[in-house]
Amino acid sequence: MGEYELWLWRLTGWTAQFAAAGTGVYLLLRAAISRPPRWRAARFPWRRAPAPRWWLALFRAERDSPALRQRRSLLMGCGLRWSAPVYLAARRTAIALGMLIAGGAWLALAAGRAPPGAVWPPGMAASLALMALLADRAVLGALRRHREDRIRIEIVALCRGLLYYSGSRLHLHGKLMRCLPYVRLIRGDLQLLLNEWYQDPDNSLERFKKRLGTEEARGFAEVVRTLRLHEDDEVYGMLRQLADTCKEKIRFARESRREMASYGLYVLAGIPVLYMFHVFLYPWVREVLVLLEGLQA
């Protein structure tokens, strides 16, 4: 094993160990510090210091653009409450720094001004980070689709719970409180909705829609708003229709994943065939071609 292969193997091991250790520390801190949002409300959020205007203007992230609108939609769909201009400026800053580090490392290696052992680690790390930053839209899109699928499943559970309590004399707040154990991903957002319910139901539903940021969540919030005003069979019919729509989208997403998995397995199944052709059949074909060339000569 050469020097580069050994270094790459060690870098892979260090990266895996660092990721595992960071994940473990994060989970331990979250389990020790976090508390369920029993009485928490999102009415008075923390005030954060605004980002420097010159930094946003330098990387053209302060004005409205298609890239900014796309990042805002992706972040909202992923449930990340980050500022889209700050994210876009930070991404472009990291890309610029990665290009400078990677370019400087490769130039130093080509000019022979630095040993390979001192140039390969920063150059390779900067190149990998640069590729990850350039593919952020694909990563955020995959996270958003995964989150939307899970939210659809929990919206179906909420609709079933409200339909189960359709004949009950409970208040709508009590019905939603009874449905709280049926959800997991949106439990914190639903708990905030219930905490803010008696302050202003309309504003709490509007904030609930913005926090989730999906089409199904907006439809569920509108149905709940209509159900708060008057309960009748037509509104519960809207709940059934919303649940059926979410089920159809869930089924379609599962079929799409199965189709993609079948394509991947088909490609993987072709690798042994190519290997068999390269190892067993190709030498015979080459010998036959040499024999035919000798006969023609």
Q: What is the pTM of this model?
A: 0.66
Query: Could you please report the per-residue DSSP string of 161-191?
Result: HHHHTTTS---HHHHHHHTGGG-STTHHHHH
Q: What is the pLDDT of residue 31?
A: 73
Q: What is the pLDDT of residue 229?
A: 85
Q: Do residues 130 and 98 touch, judged by C-beta distance below 8 A?
A: yes
Mapping DSSP onto H, E and C, the string for the chain reads CCHHHHHHHHHHHHHHHHHHHHHHHHHHHHHHHCCCCCCCCCCCCCCCCCCCHHHHHHCCCCCCCHHHHHHHHHHHHHCCCCCHHHHHHHHHHHHHHHHHHHHHHHHHHHHCCCCHHHHHHHHHHHHHHHHHHHCHHHHHHHHHHHHHHHHHHHHHHHHHHHHHCCCCCCCHHHHHHHCHHHCCCCHHHHHHHHHCCCCCHHHHHHHHHHHHCCHHHHHHHHHHHHHHHCCCHHHHHHHHHHHHHHHHHHHHHHHHHHHHHHHHHHHHHHHHHHHHHHHHHHHHHHHHHHHHHHHHC
For the chain of 297 residues, list the mean pLDDT of each consecutive stretch of 10. Answer: 61 76 80 58 52 78 80 82 84 82 70 58 68 81 88 92 86 89 88 88 89 87 89 86 90 85 78 70 74 75
CA distance 239 to 25: 42
**What letter represents residue 159's amino acid?**
C
Give the up-direction half-sphere exposure of residue 290: CA atoms within 13 A in the CB hemisphere: 6
For the four alpha carbons of 176, 181, 183 and 185, in that order, the dihedral sign comes to positive
**Max Cα–Cα distance, the chain, nearest Å:** 98
Phi, psi of 63 (to 5 degrees): -95, 155
